[in-house]
Chain A
Amino acid sequence: MKNIVVCMKQVLDPEVPLSLFKIDTEAKLAVLPKATPPVLSPFDENALEAALKIKDAQPVTITVLSLGKKLTRAVVKASLAAGADQLFLLEDESFSDFNTFLTANALAAAIKKLGQYDLILCGIQAADTNAGQVSTGIASLLSIPCITYARKVELVGDRVKVERTLPEGYEVVEVPSPVVVTTNYEVGALREPDVEAFMSAGKKPLTVWNVQDLGLESGKTSRTSFLKMYQPAHDIKCELMGGASPEEKAVKLVAKLKDLKVI
C-alpha cells in the first residue's frame, strides 16, 4: 500500500491576540502566556487534509512526522484523530523552531528510515518561520522534486498530479513519485475528526525518535543565525474622524483624503 508522509509542525498559536504576543529578546523566541496551548501549523493541517482526500479515494497509509524540541502529545495526536494511521515524533534537545538545515536533515533521515514513501506533503510555510524552505530541503536531500502551492493533489498510479496556484492563475503538473508537495489553504480545511477516528487515535502506533535514532551526523548545524529578534515599534497614531453620525465621518474622511492629494 502506498505511504503518504505528512510533515506537521507544532507552533505557537498564530491566532493569539497581538496583545498577548511577546518576544524574549535574549532567547530570540516568542513567548506566549502559559495557558495558550500550541497548535499544528495551519498550512500543515491543509497538507493532512490533502492526504485524507487521497485516502477517501484509494487505500493508502498516512504517516505523520512531527519534529520539535518538546512536543505536546495532545496537539500532535490530533493528526491521528483526524484520520492519519501512524505518528512518528522526532524529539531532541538540539532541535529548534528556526533551524532550517537541521530540520530538513532530520525529517529526510526519518523519511528514509520509514523505508517506503510515495508522496511527502507539507504546508507551504510554517506559521512561525514563514520561510517555506524545509520542504525543498527534504526534496533536495532525498533527490526528488518539490512542487509548491498545491491546491489539489492526486496519486495516479506511480505518478503524482498536482494543480498548483500561480500568481495570476494556475497550472497542472505531473511528476513520477516519490515527490514532495507543499499545500496552500486552497486544498481545504482539515476535517473535523469523526467519532471512529477520534476513538481509535489512542490505539494507533506512536513512535519517538531522537538524533541518535536518526543517525544524524554532528555538524548539521544551522546555516544562518539570529543576531536579534524584536517587535517593531508601532509609531503611527491613527487620527479618527469625528462626527455626529457615520455619514458625517465619511464626508470628513473624503475631505481629508482630498487634502492629502491621494484621491
Chain B
Amino acid sequence: MSENKGVLVYCESAGGKLTTTATELLGAGSRLAKASGEELNAVLIGSGVSGLAQEAIAYGAQKVYVVEEPLLKDYSTEPYLMALEEIVRQVAPEIILLGQTATGRDLAPWLAFHLNTGATMDCIALEIDPGSKRLLMTRPVYGGNAQAVQVCEFNPQIATVRTKAMAPLAKDSTRQGQVIKVVAEIDPAAIKTRVIERKLEAAAGVKLEEARVVVSGGRGMGSTDGFKQLAEIAGVLKGAVGATRPPCDKKWVADTQQIGLTGKVVSPDLYIAVGLSGASQHVSGFSSAKVIVAINKDPEANIFKVAHYGIVADWKAVLPAFTAELKEVAG
C-alpha cells in the first residue's frame, strides 16, 4: 500500500449547504494539514451534492472528492461506507476527520475495523505532535469527568470531532481547488438494511444547536409545568429549551431536547441551567457556552463549579420574578 498522506474530511450537508460541523472539520483539518506539510482534501457523498464542492474549497479543501448516486440520497450505513472506502482507497489519507454526528459515529468505527486501524471518538482537541508527527487526540472519558489524550499507531488515523469544538476558516470564495468525481461500485444486493419508515419532526421554534440562548431544566423541574415556565423564558429571549436526561425519561420534554454526551451539543451565548445538578454527562453538552448561569437550591451542586453566575434558591421562588424582569428589560 502506498504511503498514507494528507488529511481527508468527511463533509455532511443539510438544506443545500455544508453543515457548520463540516466547516469546523475543514478548519481543524486545514491546521493539521499545515502542521504536517500535507494536503487537505474533502469528501462529499450523496445525491445532488456536487454543487457543494466549491463551498468546501472556500472553507479550505484543496481537492474535493464527490460520489453522487441517486441510491445515496438518504444516509444509510452500507452504501455510504462502500462509497467512503472507495475514496479512502484512492486517496490513502493519513488522517480522516468526521463529525461526532449520527453519521460520523456510525461510519468511523466501521472504517476503523475494515481498515484495521483505530478510531477515536468525540475529540475536543487535535494537534500534530512535533516529534512523532502523529495526531494527538483529546477526548472526554468517564462521562466527561476526565479527559484523555490518545494516539493511534496505525494509518489512517481516524477521529470524530465534537460539534463546536473547532473553528472554521473564514470563508474565502476566491480559494482555488479541484473537484474530482468518483464512481463507487455500490452493489444494491449488499445492502441488507431496509428502511420501512422515516419521520423527521422539525423542532418548533428555534433549533437547539442554533439558539443563542438555551434554557435547560433537570430533574428538579418536577413536571411538564416546570418546563412550561422555562419555555416562557426561552420565548422572551428568542431561545430554545433543553433538558438533562431525567426529564426526557419522564417525558416532561421530547428526547430530542436532551443536551449532553449522548444528546445534543450546544454553544449558545447564554446557557441558563435550572434545577439541574450539573453532572459531567450533561455539562459536556454545553461547556463551550459563553455565559453559563445556574439556578439551584443546592449550594453544593456541581453546576456551581461550572457556571459563571448563579442563584442559590428554589427555582419556583426565582423564575416568576426573573421572567417578569426579563420581559421588562429584554422583551
Question: Which residues between 203 and 231 of chain A lie within 8 Å of chain B, taking CB atoms?
Answer: 222-231
What are the residues of chain B within 8 A of A125 when measuring CB–CB?
A: 262
Q: Is the CB of A227 within 8 A of B245?
A: no
Q: Is the CB of B200 within 8 A of A262?
A: no
Q: Is the CB of B150 within 8 A of A250?
A: no
Q: Is the CB of B192 within 8 A of A176?
A: yes
Considering only CB atoms, which chain A residue lies closest to B132 in the complex? A227
Say which residue of B141, B264, B308 sits within 8 Å of A236 (CB atoms): B308
Task: Flag B91-113 by CB within 8 Å of A: 1 or 0 each.
Answer: 00000000001100110111011
A-B contact count (CB 8 A): 234
**Interface size bucket, B side?**
35 or more
What are the residues of chain A within 8 A of B256 when measuring CB–CB?
A: 165, 167-169
What are the residues of chain B within 8 A of A189 when measuring CB–CB?
A: 249
Question: Which residues between 275 and 331 of chain B lie within 8 Å of chain A, taking CB atoms?
Answer: 279-281, 290-294, 302, 304-314, 317-322, 325-326, 329-330
Measured in the bound complex, the distance between the Cα atoms of B330 and A145 in whole Å is: 51
Considering only CB atoms, which chain B residue lies closest to A253 in the complex? B311
What are the residues of chain B within 8 A of A179 when measuring CB–CB?
A: 192
Q: Is the CB of B313 within 8 A of A224?
A: no
Q: Does B114 contact A (CB under 8 A)?
A: yes
What are the residues of chain A within 8 A of B106 when measuring CB–CB?
A: 136, 148
Q: Does A83 contact B (CB under 8 A)?
A: no
Q: Is the CB of B143 within 8 A of A130?
A: yes
What are the residues of chain A within 8 A of B302 when measuring CB–CB?
A: 18
What are the residues of chain B within 8 A of A161 when measuring CB–CB?
A: 196
With A224-B118, A238-B305, A250-B325 already in contact, the answer to whether A168 and B198 are too (CB < 8 A) is no
With A28-B148, A168-B256, A229-B146 already in contact, the answer to whether A249 and B141 are too (CB < 8 A) is no
Q: Does B165 contact A (CB under 8 A)?
A: no
Q: Does B167 contact A (CB under 8 A)?
A: no
What are the residues of chain A within 8 A of B330 when measuring CB–CB?
A: 254, 258, 263
Q: Give the Cβ gap from A257 to chain B, nearest Cβ, in Å.
A: 7
Q: Is the CB of B290 within 8 A of A262?
A: yes
Q: Give the Cβ gap from B319 to chain A, nearest Cβ, in Å.
A: 8
Q: Does A128 contact B (CB under 8 A)?
A: yes
Q: Is the CB of A262 within 8 A of B199?
A: no
Q: Is the CB of A132 within 8 A of B121?
A: yes
With A168-B200, A225-B153, A227-B149 already in contact, the answer to whether A145 and B291 are too (CB < 8 A) is no
Task: Flag A240-263 by CB within 8 Å of B: 1 or 0 each.
Answer: 110001110111011111101011
Q: Give the Cβ gap from B312 to chain A, nearest Cβ, in Å.
A: 6
Say which residue of B198, B249, B293 sits within 8 Å of A253 (CB atoms): B293
Q: Is the CB of A231 within 8 A of B145?
A: yes
Q: Does B55 contact A (CB under 8 A)?
A: no
Question: Which residues between 93 and 151 of chain A lie within 8 Å of chain B, taking CB atoms?
Answer: 98, 100-101, 104, 124-125, 127-133, 136-137, 140-141, 145-149
Q: Does B232 contact A (CB under 8 A)?
A: no
What are the residues of chain B within 8 A of A232 when measuring CB–CB?
A: 146-147
Q: Does A173 contact B (CB under 8 A)?
A: yes
What are the residues of chain B within 8 A of A75 when measuring CB–CB?
A: none
Chain B interfacial positions (CB closer than 8 Å to A): 77-78, 101-102, 105-106, 108-110, 112-114, 116-122, 136, 140-154, 192-203, 213, 237, 245, 249, 255-256, 261-262, 264, 269-270, 279-281, 290-294, 302, 304-314, 317-322, 325-326, 329-330
Q: 3 closest pairs, A vs B, by CB?
A: A223-B118, A136-B109, A140-B113
Known: A145-B78, A250-B325, A262-B290. 9 other contacts (CB 8 A): A18-B145, A130-B143, A173-B194, A226-B148, A229-B146, A247-B318, A254-B329, A257-B270, A258-B329
